Structure 1
Amino acid sequence: MTALPNPEIYLDHNATTPVLACAAAAAQYAMQQSFGNPSSSHATGIKAKAQLEQTRQLARELTGAVQGDIVFTSGATEGIQVAVLSALTAARAANTNGPVLLLYGATEHKAVPQSLEHWNQLLGLNAQIKAIPVDQHGLLDLDFIREQLPRCALICTMAVNNETGVMQDLAALSALIKGGASQPLWLVDCVQALGKTALQLEQLGVDYAPFSGHKLYAPKGIGFLYKRSGAPYLPLMAGGGQEAGLRSGTENLPGIAALNAVFRQLLNKEQSYFVSSDLLWQYRAHLLAALKTVFPHLVLNSDAPHVVPTTLNFSVPGFASKDILDLFDAAAIRVSAGSACSSKIPSSFVLNAMGLELWRSQGAVRLSFGPAMTEQECLAACERIRSLKSVVDSCCLVVSDAQSTDLQPVDGLIQLKHEDLCSYLLVDANAKSLVVIDPVQSLASRIAQLVQGHQLQVCAILDTHLHKDHPSARPELAALLASYCGAEQVDVLGWPQGETRLQMGRYQLRRLPTPGHSPEAVTVMVDEEGVQKFAFTGDLILPGGTGRLDLPGGNAADFVKSLQLLQQQLQPQTLLLSSHDYAQRFFTRWDLILQEQPVLHSLLQQPDCCDSWTEQLSAQHQWLKQQQKHFCGVVEVSASDAKALISPHELQSLLQQQRDLQIWDVRETYEQVAGALESYIPDHQIEHVPLSCLVQRLSEGQLNSQQSILLVCRSGNRSLLAARVLARAGYQQVYNLKGGVALLA
């Protein structure tokens, strides 16, 4: 019998929270029973108005806002907009002494600097906008602020950072900002502070403070803004006169009723959903201990005494944040990266501002829980996290003294990627040996762990050329794996001195000089039991493009000769693999090269008439130099797609119609082990084809191009990528499960 999927463990409360039962009930009651319009003068409206004002009073008590205004909004983003608009409008009216300065903390939520830029441009203020530096703990540089204050019209800071949980010293900031002759307006983002730390806004002299309900167990779409009495104010919403003319539009009474219920819980000292700070610190300690069981070398990016207890921001050497997110998500543990993903490896601007190492910024994971966490929830979360130890051990993600004996098998070609860089492992499981080709520094520890975990003999660590955009990781990897490598002397590319061929189990490797991109470049030809399978071309040939020839050592004449040599040496089925893959195509073949690059086809037919080609390449290079992510070559991405995107409700119909349908789980092995696809699609055989092993599967040549294949991953993105790769390889019946496992859960 197939096991059911794990129940969800939600540890991303800094992003949003579930709604408390009492808050949901209050909202439901407001929608169905107490549904009056607070602006109506009849009894039903008067009752609604009374609850609205009662909630406003509770907000005052919680935030220390005896005077001033509490304005209900749609959330913190709206509050930030109206505060910035009000402050900048006042600055424009008062400006008679030159340029205005606007300050914001370098680790602020992006809503703040983007709002400053937006309204600065729209109002024509032409203010200078500066980020306030922070130290390694994420604390604002008070000396910098002191120097800038005389010209400053508005300063924006956070009470608690959403990524790191770092608390700013609001008392020290207040003394600095409000204690001198120049007193700029002060906006404090309090979104992550309410319910986690005490607030005394009026006493501190804060001018504006936005809050958001959905960060504290209320529904989305409700929040409020505190405005100090006398602070400039310009309504963002006009036209109805609600909220004493400060924010027009009928108030969101169900949301306000939910806030009322949450506020009452926060103020209840006897019986409340919310627990004490001491207990929250205990929960934090338990969760951290569970994490360190799985990742012994975990590093905290922020810690006591500078943080609230409900946020754990950490990095693990050798892991990008996506690796850990994928692992946790497969086990139904919801955490988040330190920053939103980009087209490359995500990097946390918050940790970058703190001056932390890039690996910590790119590997940052945020685990956050709420102040209403129960002991049972904490214990369940810790147990689920600790269960991942066997997964990371069996997949050699972490090598421990007590290494798992239940290792997941590795064999054949493994393609590892970091941004646009590719590293390749060629493994013969029977011979317990491997060759590494084009190792990337950021992947060195991952490769070393796999070698150590499986106790593989390293036959060679090879480079195809001397890379111009990054150092080879070969020396570092060789040092990490000294006890697994032979002692023979090697040349500049890692080949044993004087050797042009290597035998590694069932694989035979041959070195073929192919200069052009660089003078020492080689192509590594690989036969498997006498059949040519792979050619590692470095940056001479890329999937869909060519290597650059204008870098030091590049030579167009050598490039043409190398192409001619490859044309003679390559078999039709041979898969060509490069050290860069800008277009996420994974591989190419000689027929695809000629099809996708007609200019190369012409060049090979008339090698002595290449003036037009070199002119085209020169033009490409000029464009290329402006594209930071395309350093070593140029690629044009071609459009291809799955035969069809299958939504979850169409899945059963497809399975019934396509009796010979193969289902491929393209998640990585550690995800498959942490959360088996069989628990979501029972009674069907699942093929485990990790994306890193997709090229190996293609090399086996066992599939008919008409075979129907359904690809599945966590979100539908990697499986769509795999569908494009397979379509390019000639497979015509490839489907993609839209939304992936996430929509099956």
Structure 2
Amino acid sequence: MNTDISLDSNATTTVLPTVVNAVVRALTEVYGNPSSAHSIGLRARTLLTAVRTRARRVVGAGAGKLVFNSGATEGIQTAVLSALCSIKEQRERGLPAGSLLLYGATEHKAVPESLTHWNRVLGLNLDIRTIPVNIDGRHDLETLRRLTPDAALVCTMAANNETGVISDIEGIGAILEGSNALWLVDCVQALGKLPLNLASTRIDYAPFSGHKLYAPKGIGMLYVRSGAPYTPLMIGGGQENGERSGTENMSGIAALGEVLAELENGTVFRDHTALEKLRGLLIDTLSTSFPGIVFNTPLDKSLPTTLNVAVPGLSSADLVDALDAAGVCVSAGSACSAAKALPSYVLQAMGLPEWRTTNALRISFGPATDEATIVEACRRIRHCGEALRRAGMLAGAPESPLNGVVQVAAGKVNSWLLLDAEQGMAVIIDSRPETRERIATILLRHRYEHVIELSTKDAVTWPYSDDRITVGGSRLRRIVIGAQGVCYVLETADGQPRLAFTGELGRAELASVLPSNTILCGGESEATYSTVKVQQASDVDRSHDIHLDRCGLQVLLREQPSTALVDVREAFEHFASAHTDFMEFTVNVPVTQLANALPAWLADTDRTPIVFVCRSGNRSERAARHLRKLGYEQAFHLSGGIALTPPVPLTGS
């Protein structure tokens, strides 16, 4: 059975076995309310005190406060609220208070959004400004020095979550020395990776999050320097010495205490040198597997557990999908919309080129990761690189060139490609502004040089005297409809229509020139496939039984062993996951190339059951609905996708 490897530890980590044991003990033995005066409560209070004492030692809290909470977001909110309430009080008393709220341009979005929220709620109307960073991702200290005299609050981070860049905390502290500005430092990525002695610094507030370091989600802590202003975010029962009301999350606190104990014992977490060695293995593997790869992370100024990379010509979404198929979980370095990855604001702030900010990939592991895990991850990364090369996604001639009909969708519109690999010929039907870049990438990767562009709205674009041309062993025929409309029909050698590319033409316009069962490939994603024949409501809507869970699939395979399993992911994803047992039972028909298989499936009078699969179930459901709409009622999909189905044989045996 294949097990996924997470290289996305900066997002969250697994929970250590010893931590699980600590949670179970807290839930079953030390389950009391630490505010209760009886023996059960006293045992819980003792645990709470012990963990707080250990936390103070680990972060070097000195005389400062250490408040347990739900995590870093709450810690940031509390720190910002505390600082701004103090600033407001100073202003109301006519005492000196700065006018600027400063934050690093690469901060987690929780920081600027908290500043904006509380600045508005408290009616302060202070000026919020960013501290720019240099090409290496570190804060521009000259700008900070210039702004510090007017600063009321400065927010920076110890290490960046996207790039791993370590901030110059000493340099920032030196600039703030003597200033009245309060200082918040996001220490989420620092715990367990950087030495901490907070009481010896100028830092006023430092939030931490347990789930970034092998504790469960929902537990964290906030350090508050002795003498720094503090306003509780939550008031009510007086817990945490009145600093954070609400019954303490004792199982979470016990878990965090076990992580902190491991940090002190030094038996689980690896030192900087060992972590650098593991990162070196990843760097070497990535460099050989993905030609032209660039490292957005400045390796000499970053955590040894974080890499941020970009590969020319490969989107972050494609890389995430390919690596996920190979069993390695990573994250894009930027948010994604439905059509295109948005640039990473962190990398933009560093001044990197657009392609690097848009195609960024973050790879991160935790300080407890062992060498065997990284070695196996490297093997899978190499396999992924080979899969991408075979599919023509990387430099070099593709081993399996893209051929046949390809749907290129963007938002609500479709363009269509007719590709003839033998002739190096590509026909583009209805190129759209939204699809143009993607089309150009496909043609470049697969080395199509003879390109013909056609439009279903313009008959003049047809460059031939005859109304038929040969593409990939089939005939493409032009049919002019009315003054403007044109459809292009892909026919068999004996002139039987297989597919018709119709743009926005309606059925009424097509009924007089096409057989009623012709498969129409439309220009809008909501009507990608249809026929001239008007579908009955029962044909279109009978999809309540389209979903199969694992048990339902097992039953179907037992009852009908001839059932076809079709992987509708892209070829590079299928290649990348071909080593898993599950993929041995599938054929690959990407949802973008479904048109190539539709005529044969619909010609099957036996209506053999077809079950579509993909990673999450989204693409497979779309494929099954397309086939159902065309009248094939034995079309199903694996609900939840491969991600929710163990990659083991799905036969009835």
Which category of TM-score, normalised to the shorter sequence, fits these structures? 0.7 to 0.9
Residue 611 of structure 2, aligned match among 710, 718, 721: 710
Contact 2:293 2:311 in 1 (8 A): yes
The C-alpha deviation readout for 1:203-256, integer Å capped at 9, x for no partner, is 332121110111111222211001112222222222222211111223223322
Residue 184 of structure 2, aligned match among 173, 178, 187: 187
Q: 2:75: which partner in 1?
A: 79
Q: 2:649: which partner in 1?
A: none
In the aligned structure 2, how far is the partner of 1:514 from the partner of 1:134?
Answer: 59
Structure 2: gaps of 5 or more residues: 647-653
Give the 3 Å change call, closer, same or farther, for CA 531–134 of structure 1 in structure 2. farther
Is 1:317 the counterpart of 2:312 in the alignment? Answer: yes
SS of equivalent residue, structure 2 residue 406: strand
TM-score in terms of structure 1 length: 0.75
How do 1:342-357 residues align onto structure 2 when only pairs under 5 Å count? Answer: 342-347=337-342, 348-357=344-353
Give the 3 Å change call, closer, same or farther, for CA 678–702 of structure 1 in structure 2. farther
Contact 1:642 1:736 in 2 (8 A): no
Is 1:719 the counterpart of 2:645 in the alignment? Answer: no
The C-alpha deviation readout for 1:571-630, integer Å capped at 9, x for no partner, is 54555556x75x4653465667x999xxxxxxxxxxxxxxxxxxxxxxxxxxxxxxxxxx
In the aligned structure 2, how far is the partner of 1:356 from the partner of 1:420?
Answer: 31
Q: 1:248: which partner in 2?
A: 245
Give the 3 Å change call, closer, same or farther, for CA 286–88 of structure 1 in structure 2. same
Letter of the aligned partner of 2:594 in structure 1?
L
The C-alpha deviation readout for 1:69-115, integer Å capped at 9, x for no partner, is 00011211221222222223333333358995433333222222333
1:163 to partner: Cα distance: 1.5
In the aligned structure 1, how far is the partner of 2:348 from the partner of 2:296?
Answer: 11
Q: 2:504: which partner in 1?
A: 541
Letter of the aligned partner of 1:586 in structure 2?
T
Q: 2:278: which partner in 1?
A: 283
In the aligned structure 1, how far is the partner of 2:476 from the partner of 2:516?
Answer: 18
How do 1:64-463 residues align onto structure 2 when only pairs under 5 Å count? Answer: 64-95=60-91, 101-180=100-179, 183-268=180-265, 271-347=266-342, 348-400=344-396, 407-408=399-400, 410-417=402-409, 424-428=416-420, 431=422, 433-437=424-428, 438=431, 440-451=436-447, 458-462=449-453
Q: 1:23: which partner in 2?
A: 19
Contact 2:402 2:446 in 1 (8 A): no
Give the 3 Å change call, closer, same or farther, for CA 639–291 of structure 1 in structure 2. farther
The C-alpha deviation readout for 1:391-424, integer Å capped at 9, x for no partner, is 2232222244xx68xx447542122445667554
In the aligned structure 2, how far is the partner of 1:696 from the partner of 1:369?
Answer: 41
Structure 1: gaps of 5 or more residues: 452-456, 468-491, 545-562, 597-637
Is 1:692 the counterpart of 2:634 in the alignment? Answer: no
Letter of the aligned partner of 1:232 in structure 2?
P
In the aligned structure 1, how far is the partner of 2:455 from the partner of 2:282?
Answer: 44
Letter of the aligned partner of 2:214 in structure 1?
Y
Q: 1:621: which partner in 2?
A: none
Deviates more, 1:99-108 or 1:74-83: 99-108
Give the 3 Å change call, closer, same or farther, for CA 310–423 of structure 1 in structure 2. farther
Q: 2:651: which partner in 1?
A: none
Contact 2:499 2:520 in 1 (8 A): yes
Is 1:586 the counterpart of 2:528 in the alignment? Answer: yes
Contact 1:101 1:151 in 2 (8 A): yes
Contact 2:185 2:205 in 1 (8 A): yes
Is 1:531 the counterpart of 2:505 in the alignment? Answer: no
Contact 2:159 2:190 in 1 (8 A): yes
SS of equivalent residue, structure 1 residue 313: strand
In the aligned structure 2, how far is the partner of 1:175 from the partner of 1:54?
Answer: 34
1:62 to partner: Cα distance: 2.5
Give the 3 Å change call, closer, same or farther, for CA 513–137 of structure 1 in structure 2. farther
Contact 2:293 2:309 in 1 (8 A): yes
TM-score in terms of structure 2 length: 0.85
In the aligned structure 2, how far is the partner of 1:323 from the partner of 1:277?
Answer: 32
In the aligned structure 2, how far is the partner of 1:505 from the partner of 1:206?
Answer: 68
In the aligned structure 2, how far is the partner of 1:362 from the partner of 1:639?
Answer: 39
In the aligned structure 1, how far is the partner of 2:223 from the partner of 2:586?
Answer: 55
In the aligned structure 2, how far is the partner of 1:64 from the partner of 1:122?
Answer: 33
Letter of the aligned partner of 2:298 in structure 1?
D
1:516 to partner: Cα distance: 9.5
1:740 to partner: Cα distance: 0.5
Deviates more, 1:388-397 or 1:282-291: 388-397
SS of equivalent residue, structure 1 residue 234: coil
SS of equivalent residue, structure 1 residue 102: strand
Q: 1:729: which partner in 2?
A: 630
The C-alpha deviation readout for 1:244-299, integer Å capped at 9, x for no partner, is 1111223223322222222232233xx52111212211211111111222211112
SS of equivalent residue, structure 2 residue 66: strand
1:14 to partner: Cα distance: 0.7
SS of equivalent residue, structure 1 residue 165: coil
SS of equivalent residue, structure 1 residue 388: helix
How do 1:549-564 residues align onto structure 2 when only pairs under 5 Å count? Answer: none
Q: 2:574: which partner in 1?
A: 672
Contact 2:498 2:519 in 1 (8 A): yes
SS of equivalent residue, structure 1 residue 387: helix
